[in-house]
Structure 1
Amino acid sequence: MVRWRILLVDCIPNSCIITIYEEGDCIPPHIDHHDFFGPFYTVSFMSNSNILFGKEIDNVGPGEFLGSVEIPLPVGSVLILKGNDADLAKHSITGVRQRKLSVTLRRMEDSKKPHGFHPDYKLEELCP
Protein backbone atom coordinates (compact mmCIF):
# COMPACT_ATOMS: atom_id res chain seq x y z
CA MET A 1 0.00 0.00 0.00
CA VAL A 2 3.00 2.30 0.48
CA ARG A 3 4.20 1.55 -3.05
CA TRP A 4 0.72 2.35 -4.38
CA ARG A 5 0.83 5.60 -2.35
CA ILE A 6 -2.24 4.70 -0.31
CA LEU A 7 -0.30 4.62 2.97
CA LEU A 8 1.87 7.58 3.89
CA VAL A 9 5.52 6.68 4.52
CA ASP A 10 5.68 8.95 7.58
CA CYS A 11 2.67 7.26 9.19
CA ILE A 12 3.06 3.50 8.71
CA PRO A 13 0.36 1.82 10.81
CA ASN A 14 1.44 -0.19 13.84
CA SER A 15 -2.02 -1.48 14.75
CA CYS A 16 -4.56 -3.62 12.93
CA ILE A 17 -8.19 -4.42 13.70
CA ILE A 18 -9.91 -7.22 11.80
CA THR A 19 -13.70 -7.02 12.05
CA ILE A 20 -15.86 -9.94 10.96
CA TYR A 21 -19.51 -9.04 10.49
CA GLU A 22 -22.34 -11.52 10.29
CA GLU A 23 -25.63 -10.51 8.67
CA GLY A 24 -27.21 -7.68 10.69
CA ASP A 25 -24.03 -6.76 12.60
CA CYS A 26 -23.18 -3.07 12.87
CA ILE A 27 -20.81 -0.68 14.59
CA PRO A 28 -22.61 1.95 16.70
CA PRO A 29 -21.73 5.64 16.38
CA HIS A 30 -18.35 6.53 17.89
CA ILE A 31 -15.18 8.60 17.60
CA ASP A 32 -11.97 6.58 17.65
CA HIS A 33 -9.72 6.94 20.68
CA HIS A 34 -7.14 9.73 20.44
CA ASP A 35 -4.28 7.35 21.38
CA PHE A 36 -4.42 6.54 17.68
CA PHE A 37 -3.70 9.24 15.16
CA GLY A 38 -4.69 9.44 11.54
CA PRO A 39 -4.95 8.72 8.95
CA PHE A 40 -6.87 5.48 9.50
CA TYR A 41 -7.25 3.06 6.61
CA THR A 42 -10.13 0.60 6.35
CA VAL A 43 -10.21 -2.00 3.59
CA SER A 44 -13.57 -3.71 2.87
CA PHE A 45 -13.90 -7.35 1.85
CA MET A 46 -16.65 -9.89 1.01
CA SER A 47 -19.68 -7.56 0.69
CA ASN A 48 -20.70 -3.93 0.32
CA SER A 49 -21.80 -1.77 3.24
CA ASN A 50 -22.19 1.90 4.15
CA ILE A 51 -20.54 4.18 6.68
CA LEU A 52 -22.33 7.16 8.20
CA PHE A 53 -20.78 10.40 9.44
CA GLY A 54 -22.18 13.23 11.47
CA LYS A 55 -21.81 15.45 14.49
CA GLU A 56 -24.74 13.46 15.84
CA ILE A 57 -25.92 10.08 14.56
CA ASP A 58 -29.37 8.92 15.59
CA ASN A 59 -30.26 5.31 16.33
CA VAL A 60 -33.50 4.64 14.41
CA GLY A 61 -33.70 0.88 14.96
CA PRO A 62 -31.58 -2.25 15.40
CA GLY A 63 -28.45 -1.65 13.29
CA GLU A 64 -30.07 1.38 11.66
CA PHE A 65 -28.64 4.85 12.08
CA LEU A 66 -29.27 8.27 10.58
CA GLY A 67 -26.34 10.65 10.06
CA SER A 68 -25.47 13.68 7.94
CA VAL A 69 -23.46 11.81 5.28
CA GLU A 70 -23.59 8.21 4.07
CA ILE A 71 -20.75 6.79 1.98
CA PRO A 72 -20.79 3.38 0.28
CA LEU A 73 -17.94 0.98 1.04
CA PRO A 74 -17.78 -1.40 -1.94
CA VAL A 75 -15.77 -4.61 -1.85
CA GLY A 76 -12.06 -3.82 -2.25
CA SER A 77 -12.43 -0.16 -1.34
CA VAL A 78 -10.03 1.66 0.98
CA LEU A 79 -11.56 4.34 3.19
CA ILE A 80 -9.03 6.86 4.50
CA LEU A 81 -10.08 8.89 7.55
CA LYS A 82 -8.00 11.87 8.57
CA GLY A 83 -8.45 15.31 10.05
CA ASN A 84 -11.93 16.17 11.31
CA ASP A 85 -13.36 12.95 9.83
CA ALA A 86 -11.32 10.97 12.32
CA ASP A 87 -11.10 13.41 15.23
CA LEU A 88 -14.48 15.17 15.47
CA ALA A 89 -17.13 13.45 13.39
CA LYS A 90 -18.86 10.38 14.73
CA HIS A 91 -19.04 7.45 12.36
CA SER A 92 -20.88 4.13 12.29
CA ILE A 93 -21.42 1.11 10.08
CA THR A 94 -25.06 0.28 9.46
CA GLY A 95 -26.26 -3.32 9.78
CA VAL A 96 -24.71 -5.38 7.00
CA ARG A 97 -26.89 -7.44 4.68
CA GLN A 98 -24.30 -10.16 4.09
CA ARG A 99 -21.19 -11.45 5.81
CA LYS A 100 -18.41 -8.85 5.62
CA LEU A 101 -14.82 -8.45 6.69
CA SER A 102 -12.90 -5.22 7.19
CA VAL A 103 -9.29 -4.56 8.07
CA THR A 104 -8.50 -1.24 9.75
CA LEU A 105 -4.91 -0.03 9.94
CA ARG A 106 -3.91 2.85 12.21
CA ARG A 107 -0.95 4.17 14.14
CA MET A 108 -0.72 4.42 17.92
CA GLU A 109 1.36 7.11 19.60
CA ASP A 110 4.72 5.69 20.66
CA SER A 111 4.11 6.62 24.30
CA LYS A 112 0.83 4.62 24.31
CA LYS A 113 2.17 1.33 22.92
CA PRO A 114 1.54 -1.75 25.11
CA HIS A 115 4.29 -2.97 27.42
CA GLY A 116 6.62 -5.31 25.55
CA PHE A 117 5.54 -4.12 22.09
CA HIS A 118 8.20 -4.74 19.44
CA PRO A 119 7.76 -3.17 16.01
CA ASP A 120 8.39 -5.08 12.81
CA TYR A 121 11.53 -3.31 11.60
CA LYS A 122 10.86 -4.33 8.00
CA LEU A 123 7.71 -2.23 8.14
CA GLU A 124 9.35 0.62 10.05
CA GLU A 125 12.02 1.03 7.35
CA LEU A 126 9.65 1.19 4.34
CA CYS A 127 10.29 3.91 1.80
CA PRO A 128 8.15 4.87 -1.22
Structure 2
Amino acid sequence: MSSMKKRMIKGMVRWSVLPADCILNSCIINIYKEGDYIPPHIDHHDFVRPFCIFMSKGNIIFGKEIYFVGLSEFRGSVTIPLPVGSVLILKGNGADLAKHYIPRVPWHKVLVTLRRMDHSKIPYGFQSDLELEELRLYEL
Protein backbone atom coordinates (compact mmCIF):
# COMPACT_ATOMS: atom_id res chain seq x y z
CA MET A 1 0.00 0.00 0.00
CA SER A 2 1.35 3.44 -0.87
CA SER A 3 2.77 5.68 1.82
CA MET A 4 0.04 8.30 1.22
CA LYS A 5 -2.76 5.79 1.88
CA LYS A 6 -0.89 4.50 4.93
CA ARG A 7 -0.61 8.03 6.33
CA MET A 8 -4.34 8.57 5.81
CA ILE A 9 -5.22 5.31 7.59
CA LYS A 10 -2.76 5.92 10.45
CA GLY A 11 -4.17 9.38 11.08
CA MET A 12 -7.77 8.15 11.12
CA VAL A 13 -6.99 5.35 13.58
CA ARG A 14 -4.77 7.41 15.87
CA TRP A 15 -7.37 10.17 16.12
CA SER A 16 -10.25 7.69 16.66
CA VAL A 17 -11.98 8.39 13.36
CA LEU A 18 -11.74 4.66 12.64
CA PRO A 19 -11.53 1.89 15.26
CA ALA A 20 -8.10 0.26 15.67
CA ASP A 21 -9.63 -3.18 15.01
CA CYS A 22 -10.76 -2.11 11.54
CA ILE A 23 -7.52 -1.38 9.72
CA LEU A 24 -8.41 -0.86 6.07
CA ASN A 25 -6.79 -3.24 3.60
CA SER A 26 -8.54 -2.44 0.33
CA CYS A 27 -8.47 0.72 -1.75
CA ILE A 28 -10.44 1.77 -4.79
CA ILE A 29 -9.54 4.97 -6.60
CA ASN A 30 -12.22 6.18 -9.01
CA ILE A 31 -11.44 9.00 -11.42
CA TYR A 32 -14.51 10.64 -12.94
CA LYS A 33 -14.73 12.91 -15.96
CA GLU A 34 -17.29 15.68 -16.31
CA GLY A 35 -20.76 14.09 -16.50
CA ASP A 36 -19.80 10.77 -14.85
CA TYR A 37 -21.75 9.55 -11.82
CA ILE A 38 -22.01 6.59 -9.43
CA PRO A 39 -25.41 4.88 -9.61
CA PRO A 40 -27.36 4.10 -6.40
CA HIS A 41 -25.90 1.14 -4.51
CA ILE A 42 -25.05 -0.44 -1.17
CA ASP A 43 -21.43 -1.52 -0.84
CA HIS A 44 -20.99 -5.29 -0.74
CA HIS A 45 -21.04 -6.93 2.68
CA ASP A 46 -17.76 -8.74 1.99
CA PHE A 47 -16.35 -5.44 3.24
CA VAL A 48 -16.43 -4.83 7.01
CA ARG A 49 -18.08 -1.71 8.36
CA PRO A 50 -17.09 1.06 8.85
CA PHE A 51 -15.43 2.09 5.60
CA CYS A 52 -14.56 5.54 4.39
CA ILE A 53 -14.80 7.64 1.28
CA PHE A 54 -12.44 10.54 0.56
CA MET A 55 -13.74 12.88 -2.06
CA SER A 56 -13.19 16.24 -3.56
CA LYS A 57 -16.02 18.79 -3.37
CA GLY A 58 -19.46 17.45 -4.27
CA ASN A 59 -22.70 15.91 -3.08
CA ILE A 60 -23.54 12.39 -1.98
CA ILE A 61 -27.19 11.38 -1.83
CA PHE A 62 -28.67 8.77 0.53
CA GLY A 63 -32.02 7.03 0.83
CA LYS A 64 -33.52 3.69 1.71
CA GLU A 65 -35.27 4.12 -1.63
CA ILE A 66 -33.64 6.17 -4.37
CA TYR A 67 -35.92 7.02 -7.25
CA PHE A 68 -35.07 7.34 -10.93
CA VAL A 69 -35.77 10.90 -12.15
CA GLY A 70 -34.19 10.94 -15.60
CA LEU A 71 -31.09 9.98 -17.53
CA SER A 72 -28.41 9.38 -14.84
CA GLU A 73 -30.48 11.37 -12.32
CA PHE A 74 -31.97 10.04 -9.10
CA ARG A 75 -33.67 11.44 -5.99
CA GLY A 76 -33.01 10.27 -2.43
CA SER A 77 -34.02 11.31 1.07
CA VAL A 78 -30.89 13.22 2.08
CA THR A 79 -28.28 15.18 0.16
CA ILE A 80 -25.01 15.76 1.98
CA PRO A 81 -22.77 18.46 0.49
CA LEU A 82 -19.13 17.59 1.06
CA PRO A 83 -16.44 20.29 0.94
CA VAL A 84 -12.98 19.74 -0.55
CA GLY A 85 -10.99 17.14 1.37
CA SER A 86 -13.99 15.51 3.04
CA VAL A 87 -13.88 12.07 4.62
CA LEU A 88 -17.21 10.29 4.95
CA ILE A 89 -17.33 7.31 7.32
CA LEU A 90 -20.09 4.84 6.48
CA LYS A 91 -21.35 2.40 9.09
CA GLY A 92 -24.61 1.14 10.59
CA ASN A 93 -27.80 1.89 8.64
CA GLY A 94 -25.94 4.41 6.47
CA ALA A 95 -23.78 1.58 5.12
CA ASP A 96 -26.12 -1.40 5.37
CA LEU A 97 -29.66 -0.17 4.58
CA ALA A 98 -29.40 3.17 2.82
CA LYS A 99 -28.32 3.31 -0.79
CA HIS A 100 -26.02 6.11 -1.81
CA TYR A 101 -25.00 7.68 -5.08
CA ILE A 102 -22.88 10.49 -6.44
CA PRO A 103 -24.76 12.68 -8.96
CA ARG A 104 -23.21 13.65 -12.28
CA VAL A 105 -20.06 15.64 -11.65
CA PRO A 106 -19.58 19.04 -13.32
CA TRP A 107 -15.75 18.64 -13.36
CA HIS A 108 -13.09 15.96 -12.97
CA LYS A 109 -13.35 14.28 -9.58
CA VAL A 110 -11.32 11.72 -7.66
CA LEU A 111 -13.01 9.46 -5.13
CA VAL A 112 -10.95 7.18 -2.87
CA THR A 113 -12.75 4.41 -0.98
CA LEU A 114 -10.86 2.58 1.77
CA ARG A 115 -12.38 -0.62 3.14
CA ARG A 116 -11.47 -3.81 4.97
CA MET A 117 -12.24 -7.23 3.55
CA ASP A 118 -14.04 -9.66 5.85
CA HIS A 119 -11.39 -12.11 7.12
CA SER A 120 -13.18 -15.09 5.53
CA LYS A 121 -13.18 -13.34 2.11
CA ILE A 122 -9.50 -12.38 1.90
CA PRO A 123 -7.92 -13.76 -1.30
CA TYR A 124 -5.39 -16.58 -1.09
CA GLY A 125 -1.85 -15.25 -0.67
CA PHE A 126 -2.93 -11.81 0.60
CA GLN A 127 -0.29 -10.29 2.88
CA SER A 128 -1.53 -7.74 5.41
CA ASP A 129 0.63 -4.72 6.12
CA LEU A 130 2.16 -5.25 9.58
CA GLU A 131 2.88 -1.53 9.93
CA LEU A 132 -0.86 -0.86 9.73
CA GLU A 133 -2.00 -3.92 11.67
CA GLU A 134 0.00 -2.76 14.73
CA LEU A 135 -1.54 0.73 14.90
CA ARG A 136 -2.80 1.97 18.26
CA LEU A 137 -4.82 5.00 19.30
CA TYR A 138 -3.03 8.05 20.65
CA GLU A 139 -3.17 8.22 24.43
CA LEU A 140 -4.41 11.67 25.42
TM-score range, shorter chain: over 0.9
RMSD: 1.1
Q: Which residue number in structure 1 is paired with residue 104 of structure 2?
A: 95
Aligned to 2:37: 26
Q: Is the 8 A contact 1:24 1:63 kept in 2?
A: no
Name the TM-score, length of structure 2 as normaliser: 0.85
TM-score (norm 1): 0.93
Which sections of structure 2, spanning at least 5 residues, go unmatched? 1-11
User: 2: CA distance between counterparts of 1:62 and 1:7?
Assistant: 36
Q: Which residue does 1:82 correspond to in 2?
A: 91
Which residue of structure 2 aligns with residue 120 of structure 1?
129
Corresponding position of 2:70? 61
Q: Which structure 1 residue ranges, 5 or more long, are not aligned?
A: none
Task: Indicate the percent of aligned positions where both proteins have the same amino acid.
Answer: 66
C-alpha displacement of 1:114: 1.2
The answer for the alignment partner of 1:44 in structure 2 is 55
Which structure dedicates a bigger proportion of its chain to helix? 2
Q: Distance in 2 between matches of 1:22 and 1:107?
A: 27
- Counterparts of 2:102 and 2:133, CA distance in 1: 31
Secondary structure at the counterpart of residue 91 of structure 1: strand
Q: Which residue of 2 aligns with 1:7?
A: 18
Separation in 2, partners of 1:99, 1:22: 5
Amino acid at match of 2:128: P
What is the deviation of 1:116?
1.3
* Cα displacement (A) at 1:3: 2.3
CA distance in 1 between counterparts of 2:26 and 2:13 reads 16
Residue 37 of structure 1 deviates from its aligned partner by: 1.6
Q: Which secondary structure does the structure 2 equivalent of 1:38 belong to? A: strand
